[in-house]
Amino acid sequence: MKPALSLRVGQQVTMTPQLQQAIRLMQLSSVELAQEVREAIETNPMLDYPEETDSDAAEGGENGEEADDYEAREEAWDEDDPPGADWAQGTSEEVSFASPAIPGELPVDTSWDDIYQAPPLAGTVSAEREREFAGGGESLTDSLLWQLNLAPVSTRDRVICTALVHAIDADGMLTADVGDIASDLAVGVDEVEAMLKLVQQFEPAGVGARDLRECLLLQLAELPPDTPHREVARALLEDCFDVLAARDYAALARRSKLPDGALRAALELVRSLHPRPGSAVGDFEGEYVEPDVFVRGDGDRWIVELNPDALPRVRINGDYACLVRRGDNSPDNTFLRDNLREARWFVKSLRNRGDTLLAVASKIVEIQRAFLEHGEEAMVPLGLAEIAHAVGMHESTISRVTTRKYLHTPRGIFELKYFFSSHVGTLTGGEVSSTAIRALIRRLVADEDPGKPLSDSRIATLLSERNISVARRTIAKYRESMSMPPSSQRKRLL
């Protein structure tokens, strides 16, 4: 085969750096977006936070003239800007879009200032605010070591106690064998046992136990001697713990030979104890979610609007932008022009992200209006393809814009992904959301007789009476996903 030239016509999608940046911004959470904006401002001199000072109003005329002059000079080569979305003020019968419109004729560095707010700089958060969102303080190990330093023990005993403290996990349970600790320290087992009893007197009550039974007994021992039914509860833990753990209350009543009233009272006391005492002490790493979109009712409408506090406020620096000279190919001017082009695309990518997020959230609210009015049991099945078709976007775009984006509703804060669910068929050929079925299962379990809890088969029968066809294994799968124990473990005395 000899080489030859041929002409071929075809189409292909090219992922330009600008398009890659727009896609990346679309899938970032509000916290990650603020960090991305901060890094962009640090690396691009054309981007800046807007100044919020009283002198801005006085200098508005001069800055406005510079911006108008810059826009006039750059109009010729600014043909690659994406068109602005004009749907942000549209309204429907149930949903109103409360986002302000962004006229395309306004300079970018002036129109964006009224919408986006700069994230707080490092060091500007007050000390009270930091303490409010800080963790829960010292760890369990630190707390036990601090109590050990206050105990009047010898150096040898302190070493043993320190080894015991470091062998206690975050739940407060001793994870190492006493014999192994004695062998490692070359001491007697009786010495380690004695020091373990000392550590078990530390706070919180029940710490240093080797199993659940010992943990509960240690907590009972810390209760006042006149606590009602304390001794009965102790006897149940010491003599009938295996039956108690199996929740076999009939066998427990036969073995303990206690009246029903005394048995119920002792069991209530046991339930009041903490099976993991160490979890009450230690660092608390709270996860605070800032909603991206707000939904509020207004009569018979639901108004959807972006959260201005979750959107970064950024502008193009007009002073640097006016330094760009058209037709100048010097290195300095090329550097400024390239950074200006990147800054303009970055700002418009942020705007496109907000417009897309508002459009998707509004359509979700429109479809899931019954959920807002009646709760989870009224949730309707919804898929990504349905939203993508409604807003005229690809499913991958919907997936990106709904990941780690949160919606604040009168019923709480939910991730946008929460409103998407699979469907289960009904006996009449309809469809029911899996989220609604989970809510029904949760309500049925909450209303069941504690002495005769509902089995998965019984729940499936009750749902079939509501025209919902669900198999028993599906009920078990939904129940396990909600961390609900089976009926044998939910059974308890009244």
Q: What is the per-residue DSSP string for 152-178?
A: ---HHHHHHHHHHHHTB-TTSBB-S-H
Q: 433 and 383, same structural domain?
A: no
Residue 449 lies in a domain: yes
Check whether 100 has a pLDDT greater than 50. Answer: no
391 token code pair: 């807003």
β pairing state of 431-433 and 423-425: antiparallel
Higher pLDDT, 380 or 69: 380
Q: How far apart are CA 279 and CA 204, in angstroms?
A: 10
Q: Could you give the angle at the alpha carbon of 131 between the alpha carbons of 128 and 134, nearest 5°?
A: 150
Q: 265 and 175, same structural domain?
A: yes
Give the model's confidence band at 8: pLDDT under 50 very low, under 70 low, under 90 confident, else very high: confident
* pLDDT at residue 429, rounded to an integer: 66
- Residues 6+ positions from 465 with CB-CB distance below 8 Å: none
| pLDDT, average across residues 416-440 | 82
Report in angstroms the alpha-carbon separations of 175 from 60, 156, 283, 379.
68, 22, 20, 45
**Domain endpoint, select from 216, 249, 280:** 280
* pLDDT at residue 81, rounded to an integer: 41
* pLDDT at residue 319, rounded to an integer: 84
Sign of the alpha-carbon torsion through 473, 479, 485, 486: negative
Q: 62 and 114, same structural domain?
A: yes
Over residues 151-182, the pLDDT tens digits come to 998 999 999 999 999 999 988 999 999 999 99
Q: Is 288 exposed, middle or buried (0-12, 13-18, 19+ CB in 10 A)?
A: exposed
- Residues 6+ positions from 402 with CB-CB distance below 8 Å: 360, 384, 415, 416, 417, 420
Whether residue 23 contacts residue 400, with contact meaning beta carbons closer than 8 Å, is answered with yes
β pairing state of 301-306 and 293-298: antiparallel
Residue type at 386? E
Higher pLDDT, 128 or 463: 463
Higher pLDDT, 14 or 302: 302
Residue 443 lies in a domain: yes
The b/e string for 43-64 (b: 16+ C-beta within 10 A; e otherwise) is ebbbbbbbeeeeeeeeeeeebe
| pLDDT, average across residues 194-211 | 92
Helix residue ranges per DSSP H, 174-288: 178-185, 189-199, 212-222, 230-239, 241-245, 249-256, 260-271
Residue 7 lies in a domain: no
The CATH number of residue 467's host domain is: 1.10.10.60
Higher pLDDT, 260 or 84: 260
Q: 203 and 320, same structural domain?
A: no
Q: 351 and 230, same structural domain?
A: no
Residue 410 lies in a domain: no
Sign of the alpha-carbon torsion through 411, 413, 419, 422: negative
Q: What is the mean pLDDT of the chain?
A: 78
Q: 266 and 298, same structural domain?
A: no
Please name every residue paired with 97 in a beta bridge, in sequence order, or none if there are none.
Answer: 304
* pLDDT at residue 284, rounded to an integer: 52
266 token code pair: 């002792």
| pLDDT, average across residues 30-47 | 89
Q: How far apart are CA 22 and CA 347, in angstroms?
A: 10
| pLDDT, average across residues 40-45 | 90
| pLDDT, average across residues 55-81 | 42
**Domain endpoint, select from 249, 280, 311:** 280
Check whether 289 has a pLDDT greater than 50. Answer: yes
Q: What is the pTM of this model?
A: 0.62
Q: 175 and 74, same structural domain?
A: no
Helical (H) or strand (E) element with 144: helix 140-150
340 token code pair: 């200006």
Q: Do you find a cis peptide bond into 312, omega within 30 degrees of 0?
A: no
* pLDDT at residue 125, rounded to an integer: 37
Higher pLDDT, 99 or 224: 224
Check whether 380 has a pLDDT greater than 70. Answer: yes
Instruction: Taking each helix axis as running N to C, give the angle between helix 331-367 and helix 384-391, from 0 to 180 degrees, rounded to the nearest 10.
Output: 120
36 token code pair: 């991305």
Over residues 330-375, the pLDDT tens digits come to 888 888 888 888 989 999 999 999 999 999 999 999 999 999 988 8
Helix residue ranges per DSSP H, 75-133: 108-111, 127-132
Residue 199 lies in a domain: yes
Residue 402 lies in a domain: no
Residue 1 lies in a domain: no
Q: 263 and 161, same structural domain?
A: yes
Give the model's confidence band at 247: pLDDT under 50 very low, under 70 low, under 90 confident, else very high: confident
Domain that holds residue 231: 140-280
- Residues 6+ positions from 350 with CB-CB distance below 8 Å: 25, 33, 37, 112, 116, 311, 312, 314
Whether residue 387 contacts residue 400, with contact meaning beta carbons closer than 8 Å, is answered with no
**Domain endpoint, select from 280, 309, 342:** 280
Q: 299 and 212, same structural domain?
A: no
Q: 158 and 270, same structural domain?
A: yes
311 token code pair: 């959107």
Check whether 80 has a pLDDT greater than 70. Answer: no
Higher pLDDT, 54 or 197: 197
Check whether 329 has a pLDDT greater than 50. Answer: yes
Put residue 116 in one of left, alpha, beta given phi > 0 → left and psi -120 to 50 → alpha: beta
Give the model's confidence band at 193: pLDDT under 50 very low, under 70 low, under 90 confident, else very high: very high
State the total domains in the chain.
3
184 token code pair: 């490692």
Q: 241 and 339, same structural domain?
A: no
* pLDDT at residue 286, rounded to an integer: 57
Share of the chain above pLDDT 70, in %: 79
| pLDDT, average across residues 254-280 | 86
Q: 271 and 144, same structural domain?
A: yes
* pLDDT at residue 62, rounded to an integer: 43
Q: How far apart are CA 320 and CA 489, in angstroms?
A: 69
Residue 127 lies in a domain: no
Closest C-alpha among 29, 33, 123 to residue 346: 33
